[in-house]
Structure 1
Amino acid sequence: MKYYVNRNPNTSGQREVHTEFCGFLPSPTYNRVYLGDFSECTDALDSAKKLYGKVTYCSFCCKNKEK
């Protein structure tokens, strides 16, 4: 599955990782970065941490996939 990270931090200062089918996925123009194709949210989160440090899962699309 394809994963993206929001370029803009949430109110907690973290950027959220989303799946390609998430209803909360930011618009493609300027607000998201493609992370890659991963089998698990945890792998996408690790990739996003390399870019931004402070990241978290989207509670909607990755809620049951946390470590």
Structure 2
Amino acid sequence: MKDAMDEPWTEADDVIEEVREIRRRISAQFDDDVGKLADFYMESQKRHGDRLVDPQTWRKGKSAA
């Protein structure tokens, strides 16, 4: 089994690192306070609920469209 450190950097790694950087920036906006960050995400979920996947529909394999 190859060590992960020996693996070449891929485009997927770039995407993952970009997501991590965005998450770090968002967290910093809330002074890295988990409670404030959770409040932000819950409020975002309420505002943009129409963009979220319905777990019940998803589990049944049905399209939301």
TM range (shorter): under 0.3
The structure number with the bigger radius of gyration is 2
Q: Which has the higher strand share?
A: 1
Q: Which has the higher helix share?
A: 2
